[in-house]
Every structure is written in C-alpha cells, then in structure tokens.
Amino acid sequence: MNARVALVAALVLALVAPVAAKPASRSKRPAKAALAATKKGASARVAITRAGELRPAREIVGRREEPLTIEEETAKTIMKLLRGPGLRNGVTGLLVANARTGEPLFAVNATDSFNPASNVKMISTATALELLGPEFRYPTRLLGPEPHQGVVKGDVFLLGSYDPTLSASDLDDIAAAVAARGITAIDGNIVVGADPTRDGIFRAIVPIEVTAGEPGQPPTAVVPLGAEHVTVVVTATTSKRAMKRSRLTYKTETTKRDGAAPTITVTIGGTIGKGASTMYPLWTRERTATAAYAMRASLRAHSISFTGDMKIMELGDFIGDAVGTGALPVELGRHDSRRLADIVSRVNKWSVNWLADRVIMTASALVRRQPPSMTVALEAMYGWLARHPHLATKGLVLDTGSGLSYRTQITPTDLVAVVRSAGGFAGDDDVDPSVSQAWLDSLSIARTDGTLRHRLRDSDLRARVRGKTGTLSTVIAMSGILDLDPTRPLAFSLITNTDVPIAKGRVRKAHDQVLSTLCNYLSKTMKVSVPTVGPPPAAVPPALEEAEETDPEALEGETSAVDTAPVTSLAATATTAP
C-alpha cells in the first residue's frame, strides 16, 4: 500500500509541474502605508553640473552673459514645460540616465514616491520572464488509459496549468491530436479538478445568439455546441416595430451539485425589436465546466464518440484509481499556449490589466508549486527587485501585478533602475540575454504600435522611444528607453500625479514635449552620425513589435495645482561646453 501511495504522489507531482525553475528568493513586503502627501507650491530648482560642481539654476541659467550649454538649454526647456498648462496642475517626477552606466542626466523630484499606474507591469513581466523563461508555454493535456483498437476505456482527465490565455477553440488542438492517434471512441467521463482556474478557461464566455421572432412572439436563443451546461429560458417578446436598441434583460442562476457538473440557467426577458438580432456574452466563473464541455464538443467534431459526462475529481484520486486497475494514464493529446514572450508582449504593448495579474500569479505559482495568489506574486516581484535593481523595499509599495491601484508607491529613480536591469543594460552577469531581449521587445514603440502608437507624432526626429505607459484617473506615466544614439541609450521615467481627475490629453502632450526635448538633446550630443530621415536606427539592444492600453482613462477636466517642480540637470562634464 505504501508503495502505491508513493507511486501516485510521484505521478501527480510529475503531471502538475510542467516547468522546472528555481524558486525566487523572497523579500519582505513593506508595511502598508498611505501614499505620501503631494508637495505643492514648490519653486523650480535647477542644478547643473559644471566644472565638477552643482550650482543653482538662477546663477547659471539666468545671471550670466555667455551662451547656455546644451544641458542648460535642455533643463531650461524642461522647466518651462513644467510650468506650462499640461503639467503645472500636478506634480511631475523625471529621471533620465545613461542606460548603460546609470549616470543621471536630468532629474525632477526623482527620489520622491509616485504612483506610476501600469508602469508596474514592467516589474511583473520582468519577474515572470525570469521565473519561467521567454520560451515557456502553458500546457493543457488530456490524460487517459492507453487506447485499445481505437477505444479509450475509462475516464479521461483534462489537466491544465493555469493557462490564462486558454480558449474553447484551443481545445480543438487536443481533439485533433487524439484523433491523430487513431482514437475513435472514449468510453468514460471527462474529469477535471476542483480548482476552477488550473483546468478551466479563465475568461470563460458563452456567446448566446438572440434573434427576433414574429411580432408578439418570443425571440429564439441559441447556445453554441459545447455549452450543454447552459440552459436558456426565454420570456421576452418581439416588438411589432423596429427598435434602435433592444430592451432585453438577462438573469443568470447557477446550480451546483457535489462531484457533478454545474448547470447555468439564463432567463432572457424584455423586448427585442422586429427583425433584430444580438449576441449576449455570458461571462461565467464555471471555468472547468466550460472547458470540459467544450473539450467534449471538440472530440465529437473530430468524429470521436463520447459516452460520459463531466466529473469532478482530484488528480491524485484519478491517478490512484488508475494505478489500482493497472492502467496508468498516458497523454492522449495536448495544447501549448503561445510563448510567454508573446504573452508578455501583449501585456506591455496593450497594457492588459487582467492578463498582467494572471501572468505573474501563474508564473510564481508554477515555480512554487502552489495555487496562484497575489500574495505569492508580490513576493516574487519584490524578490526580483531585490536581486536585480537591488532596490530596498522600504517606502516602495506594490499591491498588484498590473498597476491598477491607487496605493502604488515607487520613485522615478527606482523605475529607471528597473528599466536598466530588465532591459539588460545594467551589466548583470546573472541575467539571461534572451530574457532581457524578450522584455525589451514587449515595450511599445512611439508612432508605431501599442499604447504609444499615436504618441510623439509631432517630433521630426527618427529616434526610437520604447516605453510602457501608465494611466489612472490621477496618473499619467511613461518609462522606457530612448535609443537615438547607439553609443548612449538613455533610460527614463516620467510621471505626473494629481489629486483630482487628470486632463490626460494635455498631460500626455506635455510628456511628449519633454521626450522630444530629450531627443533633441541626444541628437546634438551624439558622437556618431545617425540620419534624421528614413527608418529608425538599430536599437541597442534590438527592437520590438505590437500595441494599446486598457487602463480606465475616460477622464476629463482640469487638475489642481503645483506651480513648478524642481528640475535637476546632471549632464556629464565631457559634453558640457566651457
């Protein structure tokens, strides 16, 4: 008996651990602290490195006759933008540094804490890529007894790996593989575990097509194949006239039974216009049931008969029963997700909040071999910050993997350190170059793709601005890389916070003007010649792909009020005119 228990335990461990990765070191999460109060009414302070010493801005910029240096002119322009209509009603933080050396060039409130919104995704995606690797794919497998003469006699287990991207159509890959083995019948049930996210479809949607009937009669409602757990009751009627918008109502009720499939009843009431049709997307948390029935429908679509129903059982019990009968389960078919690098690219280019949270939660869970949770995800993120940018957790607050939070606290200096480390610019010996490249490739490119595809369009320069945007009602942010000069790529973080809903269009325009100013600075100080027309210069390291943001950003109106913010220029003396 002990030998059987040991065998079952070993098989379960082997099946639920599709990736072998080293656990992330753990760092203590900082105490929950309220966001620091915004300092208002500060006067702009500009300090510029000149002859090895920092001197006050008014003394250097405003009280001398000789021409300003390039660094002084750049700092003066930034200061003017801070006082302009886009930024004067909030508090702005900025740090620009040499991406390779970390040498700071320009700074505005760079060590103050800000909420960077979706810039947090830079941390969660860098952590996930390190934990699992850019080539990792989430597997979903159908396990069952070895087929005999084309027939599988016994239950089959649909075993997932918390794949956040799994869809009903992906299960067709599994059915096709099963058919390719010559299997024509499965004499048993589809078994899934009790965890609704491991073996299920995370974003489970059942589309219900509703079509008007004859006037005064009920409309028809059609549930797709593979949704046998959904029943529709129609009490609605069809109007005698056409309507601009149907007035249908939807009520959902779920009934659960121990060990059996749940049933979902959707009652459609109200009125639909004559000749109209609509689709109601039924979002359900019955993720495993949705996956199991979609799997059965896919098998039948591939001419594989199926006699059973859905059944809930723990994987260990399933394997134990198989061991008892001497029929160890084998893999009958599988579906592998897209590469993690591709999923991360979708997260960062389009700023998909739910996917960002699920990616870091599942990546950390797979490494730790435990169910996904935000607690485990945050431990992994803090661990990455401690290992690579070597950031202290004191005063740094993260509570999501997406940045969809009003509690986040981090400084522009810390975010620049994140960009340098995640992008492979910091020279960390223990960083896999393929991980850094995958992370860089996930960032949006200004005027090209993602949430930056409409940004910096007024710039004449062909500089590549690669970055991650962030948007909340009181936050506009962008952090990333300026790589016009192949010999000196710049890492930057630019954040504006307000205490009332932000005028996002004005703030973004001002941010673009700041970045254009920095691009102009680079073009005047670069040591190699790069054309200002034609395709963008080669990236250092190379470039990326896609792009658009899903943060809540339908906000209008003015914000209130900081007159100016401190600006610091710390430009290298090697490029400063005498």
Whose structure tokens read 């593989």?
Answer: 177
Instruction: Give residue-wise pLDDT tens across range 441-491.
Output: 999 999 999 999 999 887 655 568 999 999 999 999 999 999 888 889 999
The confidence score (pLDDT) of residue 1 equals 56
> Does residue 37 form part of some domain?
no
Question: 484 and 515, same structural domain?
Answer: yes
Answer yes or no: are the C-beta atoms of 538 and 484 closer than 8 Å: no
Whether the per-residue pLDDT at 408 is higher than 50: the answer is yes
Question: 261 and 297, same structural domain?
Answer: no
Instruction: Give residue-wise pLDDT tens across range 382-398.
Output: 999 999 999 988 889 99
Query: Which of 272, 306, 337 marks a domain boundary?
Result: 337
Tokens of 5: 């228990």
Instruction: Give residue-wise pLDDT tens across range 488-502.
Output: 999 999 999 999 999
The confidence score (pLDDT) of residue 546 equals 31
The confidence score (pLDDT) of residue 484 equals 85
Using a CB cutoff of 8 Å and minimum separation of 24, what contacts does 343-346 make? 343/164, 343/165, 344/125, 344/128, 344/129, 344/134, 344/438, 344/439, 344/442, 345/438, 345/441, 345/442, 345/544, 345/545, 345/546, 346/546
> Does residue 268 form part of some domain?
yes
Q: How far apart are the first and last CA of the chain?
A: 85
Tokens of 24: 């992330």
Q: What is the pTM of this model?
A: 0.85
**Tally of domains in the chain:** 3
Question: 371 and 464, same structural domain?
Answer: yes
CA–CA separation, 507 vs 474, rounded Å?
11
State whether residue 229 is helix, strand or coil.
coil
Q: What is the CATH number of the domain that holds 158?
A: 3.50.80.20
Compute the half-sphere exposure of residue 21: CA atoms within 13 Å on the CB side of its CA.
24
Range of the domain at 263: 205-284
C-alpha distances in angstroms, 131 versus 25, 128, 432? Answer: 11, 5, 11
Q: Among residues 467, 470, 495, 490, which one has the least CA distance to residue 480? A: 467
Q: Torsion-angle region of residue 254: left (phi > 0), alpha (psi -120 to 50) or beta?
A: beta
User: Mean of the per-residue pLDDT values for the chain?
Assistant: 84
Instruction: Give residue-wise pLDDT tens across range 301-322.
Output: 999 999 999 999 999 999 999 9
11 pLDDT tier (thresholds 50, 70, 90): low
Query: Which of 321, 337, 353 marks a domain boundary?
Result: 337
C-alpha distances in angstroms, 143 versus 12, 32, 157, 160, 338? Answer: 12, 44, 5, 11, 21
